[in-house]
Every structure is written in C-alpha cells, then in structure tokens.
Chains A and B, each alone.
Chain A
C-alpha cells in the first residue's frame, strides 16, 4: 500500500500546480489592484482568461514555422515536469530524483531557449528584441543562481531539492548569514527569471519596454493559453522552490499521508505571504532601464557570493 502513496502525492502535486498557479497569480493581481486603489477582477480571473483563450481560434503569422507552434507545448510540458520534481507538498516524490536544482535550471533553460526561438521565428523586430533581451538577462542571472545554489549546497551537502528540504527541516533552525544572503540573492534572481517589476513588466504591452511579452506577442488562441498558463506556473514554481530551499518547515516528510493536509495549509499560507511580498516589491519599485539590469543582477551575484564567503568565514 505504501508503494502507492508517493504516486498519489505526485499526482496530487501536479494537480495542485495546475490549479493553484492561476489562483496564485490571481491573488497577486488582486493585491496589486488593491494596493493601487483599483477594483480587482477577482482571484479567479486568470482561469477565465485561460478558458477564453482555449476556445478561441488560432491566428498564426504568415511566416511562422513549426517551431512557433511547437514551443507552447514544449514550454508547458517542461514546466509541468519541473512541478513534478519540486517538493511542493512532500519530499516523498517518485520523480524527485530525476533532477537536482541544476537540472531544474536546465529545464527552465529549455523553455526559455524555445520561447526565444519562437520570438525570432515570426521575423518581427519585437520578437527579436524580446529574445535578445531575455537571453541577456538569463545569461546574467545564471552566475548568481549558481552561486546561490553553491551556498545552499554548502549547508545541505546536496543539490537535490528533496534532500535539501530533508536536511534543513531535520537540523532545526540555525541562524546562518550565508542562507540569509542566499535568500536575498534568490529573490532578486526569481524576479529577473519570472519577468516581474523592476526587471520586466508582465502587464505591459508598451512596445519598447517589453521583454517576455515581446517574444509571445504573436501568439493567440490555445498557444497563448498554454504560454500564459506555463508562465503562471513558473512564478508559482519559483515561489515553491524558494519555499522549499529556505523555508521548508511544513513540507510533509516521507511515508506519511497524515501531514498532507497540514502541508497544503502551510503551502497556502506561505504562498499568500510570498505573493504579498512580491506585490510590495512591485508597487514599491519602478521598472528599471534595461542597462541597469546588469547592476541589479550584479547585486544578486554579490549577495550570493557574500553568502558563500560568509559560510567559510563566519560559520
């Protein structure tokens, strides 16, 4: 019987990912509306958007090749796979050994690689611009990301997420400057990777400031729905990765289904807080000029490096 638990948890987790990601985004948008004194469209609006897009016809650019049509499916598939690996509810996932954090970065890189290609496929100036900028930001985020992983792996002796959760929850709470720095770095990187303010503005179609939107400008119908859904899941997953690595208390341990309801509750609370934090950052800051982003990611790198250094120097 206990053989079956992990499979159940795995399926449950993917279901939660698919269902909760739009709610999470809805929550962020709602808070943002409130913080700016607007009336919100409700927490479920992302569902309605996606549902509407799924029923619409697809309009393709004349020049679009198979890459353009294949990309949404691939991006969606890769994101779901990541969701199956990150310990969102429990560490007892049969697929968790498929990938450690570095492979997860690689999986996100696949999605980004093909999105950038899709942006160039249609042959507009916007698509190319978005791809070029996205690849630039991704390149600069990567060193900081690796350094943050390095710092975490110094403490946990592992890069596998389930193992990190296991080690940190079993060791009890220790104040570690290295982890504090790594959290800071991770927040910066997550903002850059998921294209939130101040790096990119997910709500804008203002031509010259677009990055992610510029690449998917020509998408429509079910393709756009898949891209949007995958984008929401990506934000959700980055929040979950952050939670798993830095605040894992509450994630259910092995061989125990009883903890699951509690784990879901903890997840909901933590995600609410993460969303609130994101909204505070987004309303508090203005979007940066594109060539200030290297400095932004440079400070992420600095934090991560200080984390690594303080592990050796101070701990």
Chain B
C-alpha cells in the first residue's frame, strides 16, 4: 500500500556486504538522516544561541557517523577519512571557534527572528515536501542504499538557507551557512558515495577559512555598527 515498504528490502550495493548488516546499516543510516533533519529543524526554531551551537555540533556528529556507515556499506575507504574530518572540524573546531566568538562579543541573549517560529516551521515542512518532490525522480533511478537520504540532504540545504533568511544575528547566519554545507556534504555521500578525497579536503579547508573570515567580518561589523544585527547593514545603502 505504502511506497516505502519494498524499497529497502532490495538494496543493490556496488560492492556487496553481508545482507543482514546491510539492512541494519541502512536502518541506522535512515535514522541518522532523520536526526540530521531534526537538528536542521531544531536550528530553525531554537531561540538560544548556545542551543544553536549545541544543535549544530550534534548535526555534525550525526553527519560524521552517517558518513562512516556509508563508508562501511559502500566499501569506499576514503569516506572514513571524511568522517573523521567532519568529526574534528564540525563537532569540535567550528563550534569551539563560534563559542569563543560568542564569548568575546558577549552575545548570549535570545536570537531575534524575522518571521515567527510556527510560521518558520510550516515553511520548513513545505520545503521538505518540496525537496522530496524534486528528488523523487532521481531516487527512482538510483540504486544506492543511501539514495533515500538525498531528499533529506536537499531539505537540509534549504532549511539552512531558510535559517539564514529568517534570522538577523550574524552568528546565526554563519550557523545557517554551515548547516547548508552539512546538507551538501550529506547529498554528496548519499547520491554518489562521496566526492573524491581531494575535493573534500579542499571543501573542509574552505569552511575553516570561511569561519575565520566570518570571525573577522563579525568584528568589523561590530566595530562599525555596535551590533551584530545584519539589518544594520541596510545603512550602507546609498541614499538617493
């Protein structure tokens, strides 16, 4: 009756592993995808800035485990490296940097939102449905075990973007941006069992650099406007 029942019973991995493990791994992987989606929504509705950081770290953790499992399932060894890289970078380093930033700039009050939270939630649900609709044709032709997480990956990207749109604080903007990157990473692992290692290393480096640039950028914004509210950048617009 439903769509999903017979989908996961016949996985066709490129390099087959033992079937029971495969099934179980696929189940774990879909749980992890669900958790990533949940954290993406959590980022969208969380009011406190430390809560955002924690959620972001959790998202990174789930992503890292998921990458590891995909690596195991597909027998693609460099995915283990990506997994460890994700763990170090997104669960430890980046949250730490942001944490330091927050302490340095003394922002720990509630996050201001542009759109109210229930509405954001509903828009988020609509985005998930939309991304499922978009990826449905790809999922049909894909043969990978992880294909079903593609929709989640796309949804995570969109939710990250939505978060950047609906929040005003610059720190929340970077978290939204990083969460978007998490979504892209998940898409890469789920659609094609990961990008080549060189590309991934490059992306990781990029993100690290981006974080530093953002940090400098924050200080600049704050010295210029005395606030991290990105809306104050509207002052930069030239008056006619």
Contacts and interface: CB of A to CB of B under 8 A. Distances in A.
Interface of A: 154, 157, 174-178, 180-181, 294-295, 298-299, 301-303, 305-306, 309-315
Contact of B7 (A178, A180, A315): A315
A298 B118 contact: yes
B17 interface: no
A311 B33 CA distance: 12
A294 B118 contact: yes
A115 B131 CA distance: 44
Given A299-B45, A302-B121, A181 B34 contact: yes
Contact of A175 (B31, B45, B148, B151): B31
Contact of A295 (B4, B118, B125, B148): B118
Interface string B33-53: 111011001000100000000
A313 B41 contact: no
Given A157-B1, A177-B34, A313-B148, 20 more contacts: A174-B27, A175-B30, A177-B35, A181-B34, A295-B117, A302-B124, A302-B125, A306-B41, A309-B125, A309-B128, A309-B129, A310-B37, A310-B152, A311-B2, A311-B4, A312-B3, A313-B132, A313-B151, A314-B33, A314-B152
B8 to A, nearest CB: 7
Nearest to A181: B34
Tell me the interface secondary structure of chain A in the complex.
Answer: helix
Interface string B112-153: 000001100100110011001000000000000000110110
A187 B125 CA distance: 21
27 contacts: A175-B27, A177-B31, A177-B34, A180-B34, A295-B45, A298-B118, A298-B121, A299-B45, A302-B45, A302-B121, A302-B124, A306-B34, A309-B128, A309-B132, A310-B33, A310-B34, A310-B37, A312-B132, A313-B148, A313-B151, A314-B4, A314-B33, A314-B149, A315-B5, A315-B7, A315-B8, A315-B30
Nearest to B23: A174
B88 interface: no
A30 B24 CA distance: 40
Interface of B: 1-5, 7-8, 24, 27-28, 30-31, 33-35, 37-38, 41, 45, 117-118, 121, 124-125, 128-129, 132, 148-149, 151-152
Contacts of B125: 302, 305, 309
A314 B30 contact: yes
A154 B121 contact: no
Nearest to A175: B27
Contacts of A294: 118
A132 B48 CA distance: 31
B69 to A, nearest CB: 12
Contacts of B33: 177, 310, 314
- 9 tightest Cβ-Cβ pairs between the two chains A and B: A177-B34, A315-B4, A314-B30, A175-B27, A310-B34, A313-B151, A298-B118, A177-B31, A314-B148
Contacts of B1: 157
A312 to B, nearest CB: 6
Contacts of A303: 38
Given A312-B3, A313-B148, A177 B30 contact: yes
B97 to A, nearest CB: 29
A302 B41 contact: yes
A216 B148 CA distance: 51
Nearest to A298: B118
Contacts of A314: 4, 30, 33-34, 148-149, 152
A313 B151 CA distance: 7
Contacts of A312: 2-4, 132
Nearest to A310: B34
A159 B27 CA distance: 24
Contacts of B121: 298-299, 301-302
Contact of B31 (A157, A180, A311): A180
B2 A313 contact: no
Contacts of B24: 175
A177 B31 CA distance: 5
A42 B8 CA distance: 51
Contacts of A175: 24, 27-28, 30-31
A309 B129 CA distance: 8
